[in-house]
Chain A
Amino acid sequence: MRAIAIVIEVLILMGVIYCLFLAARLTILDVGFHSKYDRFLRWALGIVGAMVSAFLIAHLTLFYPKLLP
């Protein structure tokens, strides 16, 4: 039961992170960065996003409350 809740929460949070990073990338490109930096930006944000997702999975696995009402 707890495992299902953790999986759902991780998916939701991954979606949030994806939207946030997409917004960051588009903003940076809007502000004036050349589109030639796009690939590097996608790589960097992608790697950071993967690490954040891994951390989220670990954190929720460890600290998700044990008692559910």
Chain B
Amino acid sequence: MAKWGMVIDLDKCVGCQACVVSCKEENNVPHGSPEEQRSRREIYWHKMIAATKGKYPYVRTELIPMPCMHCEHPPCVTVCPAKATFQRDDGIVVQYYRRCIGCKYCMVACPYGARSFNYKAQEPKAYQRQDEPPDRNSWAPWPFPVRTQGVVEKCTFCFHRIDQGLKEGKKIGTEVVPACVEACPSHARTFGDLDDPQSPVAQLLASRASFRLREELATRPKVIYLSR
């Protein structure tokens, strides 16, 4: 079984946040209003942080894109009481909106702040898709989730693309990648099977020193960063 992971080369990342925006576009994640941004209720499936070390004039800033880490030992899966979040065989941590009761325990337990709560129902026109016929354009099945309010959501590694790609027999990691990997202009992101020694991710990991975030918490995230 594949073990899907992502490698992000921080040396190539320019901090343009195309990954953040393309994730919102692909998954119809709403852009928060200024009010929501101010009160920290905006939904971010993928965020980017800037960490600064040192004092002027010897300052260093790291720009770190953070999707859901799809950890091997996910703390969110441990604490979800309704089994709404679970780990698939291929390593993707899935959020099943139908079971989610909105208790927000997973949001408290996630060490990476990857989860967002869906506070209010989106306007119907926010879900209008232009590429679907009119009677289906707000009721399409996945890959167009019309998420309801009151549930927690997070990055899915675009598993809809992966599953569709596997069905069509395409190569995951080269022909089919998540939206953020596809959108990166400097090709800083690579997606693939961490178990496959021939995959580009495995080769990248073997080439340079890599680190994961908050490794001391032993969550074994599968988004691995190559340092600058």
* Closest chain A CB from B97 CB (angstroms): 13
CA distance A67 to B136 in the complex (A): 11
Write out the residue numbers on chain B whose beta carbons fall within 8 Å of the beta carbon of A66: 124
CB pair B139–A67 under 8 Å, yes or no, is: yes
Give the interface residue-count category, chain A. Answer: under 10
CA distance A63 to B97 in the complex (A): 14
CA distance A52 to B137 in the complex (A): 35
Q: Interface readout for A58-69 with B: 1 if CB under 8 Å, 0 if not?
A: 000011001100
CB pair A63–B139 under 8 Å, yes or no, is: no
Number of interface residues of B (CB under 8 A): 5
Residue B101 CB within 8 A of the other chain: no
Q: Interface readout for B137-174 with A: 1 if CB under 8 Å, 0 if not?
A: 00100000000110000000000000000000000000
CA distance A28 to B66 in the complex (A): 55
Q: Which of B163-193 contact A (CB under 8 A)?
A: none
Number of A-B contacts (CB under 8 A): 5
Write out the residue numbers on chain A whose beta carbons fall within 8 Å of the beta carbon of B139: 67
* Closest chain A CB from B140 CB (angstroms): 12
Q: Which of B80-134 contact A (CB under 8 A)?
A: 121, 124
Q: Which of A39-63 contact B (CB under 8 A)?
A: 62-63
CA distance A42 to B139 in the complex (A): 44
Closest chain B residue, CB of each to CB of A62: B121
CA distance A23 to B14 in the complex (A): 67
CA distance A67 to B140 in the complex (A): 12
Write out the residue numbers on chain B whose beta carbons fall within 8 Å of the beta carbon of A67: 139
CA distance A66 to B127 in the complex (A): 13
* Closest chain B CB from A60 CB (angstroms): 14
CA distance A10 to B221 in the complex (A): 47
Q: Which of B198-215 contact A (CB under 8 A)?
A: none
CA distance A59 to B87 in the complex (A): 30
CA distance A67 to B139 in the complex (A): 9
CA distance A63 to B149 in the complex (A): 10
Write out the residue numbers on chain B whose beta carbons fall within 8 Å of the beta carbon of A62: 121, 149
CA distance A66 to B148 in the complex (A): 13
Write out the residue numbers on chain A whose beta carbons fall within 8 Å of the beta carbon of B124: 66
Write out the residue numbers on chain B whose beta carbons fall within 8 Å of the beta carbon of A63: 148
CA distance A67 to B149 in the complex (A): 18
CA distance A67 to B127 in the complex (A): 14
Q: Which of B58-85 contact A (CB under 8 A)?
A: none
Q: Interface readout for A14-29 with B: 1 if CB under 8 Å, 0 if not?
A: 0000000000000000
Binding site for A on B (CB under 8 A): 121, 124, 139, 148-149
What are 5 A-B residue pairs whose CB atoms fall within 8 Å in the complex?
A: A62-B121, A62-B149, A63-B148, A66-B124, A67-B139
